[in-house]
């Protein structure tokens, strides 16, 4: 690809040539910057540019309106660390070595990464926010990261100089740190790639105190699959991420009371170390929190819902807390866009917004992610594009998070090494429709046995079908026709009439496993 295609002309600049004549630097181009904003567990159902049912997200919508919205954007392994490793390497989990979040997992930062290639190509690189890869970040000129999952309130951050503590709400702080880096810390002579990685909207969905009152008057319709009984889907029935059964009253839903039982209570109330999500708040924050939640706790104790009523009550509380947390995120994305605009950076910066994976907002009765089913294999992906990129509106091609690294490299005018497994999205951003674009995606989830008990599985997704194989302590296959059954309730595997498509999809799955060189394959 000709790198000059993606660089913007520097207008009106004049210089002296070797003979002392003034020449217009018509050929000189201004390199593109990249701002990659990633949230955690952000369901595209709760972005109004994707889905208008729940809330309005004007700032996220602005990114899509001034650029593109990918309507078929997926991850390769729906979990934080693996998704981040895929982002940084452009490779599937088995190739970058980071297959799950299990305790002690360490990303090998010595391997080839996109930030390393950008840095070697003259870019400044910065990483701010959730890192979640165990090891110390490599090849960033600047980094300030949350330890592990980080905290919503008064978070600590790890920096090359040691751990620092910040008072306040994490989404505001990550935005402030990013703006501070843009304004004061970067070398303005160089192009940059800034990774802004939010903690929000991760469990336990804690909003900023200023947003607590939002959505309290709303009653959300239950998703049509809320009461799913998982018939014909063994692995789906074994999970432990069910709102009715597994969502906790204190830790998840903030019903802090002596009479309420919750084995996760200490994760909420302890006041030292990471994770005491309520316990680590300061006096003013706790006062605002209690003022909001105490009347809800009182009401809950009075009503004492049980059975189906309790499940529905939990769903409403979950939705409200989650959406409040998104509100702050959307506001902060707005602040960052404003900053880029005011600094005159928007004209040569590509702003990308994605999540580390999708999330269940009650579909199949669930919260969390992990499964290759649509809600969690999908991830939002929108990009604000400067002039010079022809495409606006929707892009429907099948894309995956392994494609981000090669996209960044091509935006920077740098070559894409042949061992990168993803494909640059730049041709799509230019409005091209490459005839040889991929027709299927590969997925592999490994973290089992583990929290939420989602069995290991791999699979293939084409535009119309999905074939999944759950393996390890079970051996089951699932097949969906996404055109007929977009909510994936009818497992067609083994049904009469499905023989031919099953055979084709199995062949395609094997082709992908060989193509991507996954050592775990052919498990029949
Ligand atoms: C934590 C959460 C889980 C979540 C994982 C992975 N439990 O362990 O609910 O699935 O993170 O999430 S909690 O009790 O600590 O909230 S990921 O996005 O980081 O992969
Ligand atoms: Ca996540």
Q: Enumerate domains of the chain plus CATH numbers.
A: 239-319 (no CATH), 442-523 (3.30.1120.10)
- 430 touches ligand 1 (CB under 6 Å): no
203 CA distance to ligand 1 middle (Å): 7
- Of ligand 1's listed atoms, the one at least distance from the Cα of 367 is 9
pLDDT band at 482 (very low <50, low <70, confident <90, very high): very high
- Of ligand 1's listed atoms, the one at least distance from the Cα of 452 is 10
Instruction: Count Cα atoms within 13 angstroms, Cβ side, for 351.
Output: 22
pLDDT above 50: residue 9: no
- 45 touches ligand 1 (CB under 6 Å): no
- Of ligand 1's listed atoms, the one at least distance from the Cα of 83 is 20
pLDDT for the residue 522: 74
pLDDT for the residue 273: 64
pLDDT for the residue 276: 82
Determine the Cα–Cα distance for residues 254 and 249; give it in Å rounded to an integer.
6
Determine the Cα–Cα distance for residues 37 and 196; give it in Å rounded to an integer.
5
pLDDT above 80: residue 403: yes
What does the pLDDT look like over 322-345, one tens digit per residue? 999 999 999 999 999 999 999 999
State pTM to two decimals: 0.95
- 40 touches ligand 1 (CB under 6 Å): yes
Q: Are 86 and 133 in contact (CB under 8 A)?
A: no
Phi, psi of 308 (to 5 degrees): -65, -35
SS3 call for 377: helix
Kind and range of the H or E element at 265? helix 265-269
Q: Are 136 and 147 in contact (CB under 8 A)?
A: no
Instruction: Tell me which residue has its CA closest to atom 15 in ligand 1.
Output: 203
Instruction: Tell me which residue has its CA closest to atom 1 in ligand 1.
Output: 203
CB contact set of 176 (below 8 Å; sequence gap of 6+): none
Return the beta strands (E) in 187-240 as ranges: 192-197
For residue 174, give the nearest of 159, 157, 160 by alpha carbon.
157
CB contact set of 237 (below 8 Å; sequence gap of 6+): 229, 230
Q: Pairing relation of β-strands 192-197 and 124-130?
A: parallel
Determine the Cα–Cα distance for residues 452 and 128; give it in Å rounded to an integer.
28
pLDDT for the residue 274: 62
Determine the Cα–Cα distance for residues 327 and 57; give it in Å rounded to an integer.
7
Q: CB count, 10 Å around CB of 20?
A: 6
What does the pLDDT look like over 348-380, one tens digit per residue? 999 999 999 999 999 999 999 999 999 999 999
∠10-16-17 over CA atoms, to 5°?
Answer: 100
Q: Which of 85, 101, 131 to mutate to test the pocket of ligand 1 (most atoms within 8 A of CB)?
A: 101
Residue for token digits 């390890």?
472
Q: Which two tokens stand for residue 318?
A: 């979950």
pLDDT above 90: residue 506: yes
pLDDT band at 395 (very low <50, low <70, confident <90, very high): very high
Residue for token digits 């751990």?
163
What does the pLDDT look like over 263-316, one tens digit per residue? 999 999 987 766 689 999 999 999 999 999 999 999 999 999 999 999 999 999
> Averaged over 95-121, what is the pLDDT?
96
CA 216 vs. chain centroid, Å, equals 26
Determine the Cα–Cα distance for residues 91 and 521; give it in Å rounded to an integer.
17
Q: What percent of the chain has pLDDT over 90?
A: 91
Determine the Cα–Cα distance for residues 240 and 20; give it in Å rounded to an integer.
74
Determine the Cα–Cα distance for residues 469 and 447; give it in Å rounded to an integer.
15
Helix then strand count (H, E) for the chain reads 14, 20
Q: What is the mean pLDDT of the chain?
A: 94
> Averaged over 61-67, what is the pLDDT?
98
pLDDT above 60: residue 11: no
pLDDT band at 524 (very low <50, low <70, confident <90, very high): low
- Of ligand 1's listed atoms, the one at least distance from the Cα of 252 is 16
pLDDT for the residue 1: 34
153 CA distance to ligand 2 middle (Å): 18
Determine the Cα–Cα distance for residues 173 and 129; give it in Å rounded to an integer.
9
- 202 touches ligand 1 (CB under 6 Å): yes
pLDDT for the residue 3: 35
pLDDT above 70: residue 454: yes
322 CA distance to ligand 2 middle (Å): 14
pLDDT for the residue 6: 41
pLDDT above 90: residue 110: yes
63 CA distance to ligand 1 middle (Å): 28
Instruction: Tell me which residue has its CA closest to atom 13 in ligand 1.
Output: 203
More confident residue, 5 or 434: 434
pLDDT for the residue 158: 98
Residue for token digits 């973290």?
447
pLDDT for the residue 221: 98
pLDDT for the residue 138: 98
pLDDT band at 18 (very low <50, low <70, confident <90, very high): very low
- 100 touches ligand 1 (CB under 6 Å): no
More confident residue, 347 or 20: 347
With residues binned 3-state (H G I as helix, E B as strand, rest as coil), the percentages for the chain, rounded to 5, are 30, 20, 50
219 CA distance to ligand 2 middle (Å): 26
pLDDT for the residue 23: 37
Q: Which two tokens stand for residue 54?
A: 């729940």
């Amino acid at each position: 690809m000709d790198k000059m295609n993606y660089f913007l002309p520097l207008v009106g600049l004049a210089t002296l040539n070797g003979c002392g004549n003034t020449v217009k630097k018509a050929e000189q181009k201004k390199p593109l910057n990249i701002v990659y904003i990633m949230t955690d567990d952000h369901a595209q159902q709760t972005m109004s540019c994707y889905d208008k049912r729940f809330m309005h997200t004007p700032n996220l919508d602005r990114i899509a309106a001034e650029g593109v919205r990918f309507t078929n954007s997926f991850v390769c392994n729906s979990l934080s660390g693996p998704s981040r490793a895929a982002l940084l390497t452009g490779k599937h989990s088995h190739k970058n070595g980071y297959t799950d979040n299990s305790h002690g997992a360490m990303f090998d930062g010595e391997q080839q990464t996109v930030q390393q290639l950008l840095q070697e190509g003259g870019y400044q690189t910065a990483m701010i926010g959730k890192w979640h890869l165990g090891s110390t970040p490599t090849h960033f000129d600047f980094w300030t990261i949350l330890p592990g999952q980080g905290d919503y309130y008064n978070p600590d951050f790890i920096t090359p100089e040691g751990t620092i503590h910040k008072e306040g709400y994490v989404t505001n702080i990550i935005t402030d740190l990013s703006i501070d880096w843009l304004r004061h810390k970067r070398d303005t002579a160089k192009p940059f790639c800034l990774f802004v990685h939010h903690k929000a909207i991760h469990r336990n969905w804690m909003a900023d105190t200023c947003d607590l009152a939002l959505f309290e008057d709303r009653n959300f319709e239950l998703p049509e699959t809320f009461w799913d009984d998982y018939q014909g889907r063994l692995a789906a029935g074994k999970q432990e991420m069910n709102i009715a059964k597994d969502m906790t009253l204190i830790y998840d839903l903030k019903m802090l009371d002596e009479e309420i039982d919750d084995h996760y209570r200490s994760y909420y109330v302890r006041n030292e170390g990471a994770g005491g999500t309520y316990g680590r708040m300061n006096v003013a924050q706790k006062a605002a929190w209690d003022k909001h939640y105490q009347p809800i706790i009182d009401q809950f104790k009075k009503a004492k819902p049980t059975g189906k009523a309790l499940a529905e009550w939990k769903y409403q509380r979950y939705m409200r807390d989650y959406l409040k947390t998104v509100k702050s995120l959307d506001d902060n994305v707005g602040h960052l866009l404003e900053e880029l605009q005011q600094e005159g950076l928007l004209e040569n910066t590509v702003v990308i917004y994605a999540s580390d994976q999708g999330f269940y907002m009650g579909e199949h009765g669930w919260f969390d992610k992990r499964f290759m089913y649509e809600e969690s294999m999908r991830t939002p992906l929108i990009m604000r594009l400067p002039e010079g990129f022809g495409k606006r509106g929707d892009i429907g091609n099948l894309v995956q998070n392994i494609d981000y690294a090669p996209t960044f490299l091509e935006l920077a005018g740098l070559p894409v090494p042949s061992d990168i497994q993803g494909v640059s999205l730049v041709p799509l951003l230019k409005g091209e429709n490459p005839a040889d674009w991929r027709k299927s995606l590969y997925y592999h989830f490994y973290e089992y046995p583990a929290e939420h008990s989602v069995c290991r599985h791999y699979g293939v997704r084409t535009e119309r079908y999905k074939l999944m194989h759950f393996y390890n302590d079970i051996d089951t296959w699932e097949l969906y026709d996404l055109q007929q059954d977009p909510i994936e309730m009818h497992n067609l595997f083994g049904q009469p009439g499905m023989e031919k498509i099953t055979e084709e999809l199995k062949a395609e799955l094997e082709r992908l496993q060989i193509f991507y060189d996954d050592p775990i394959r052919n498990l029949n």
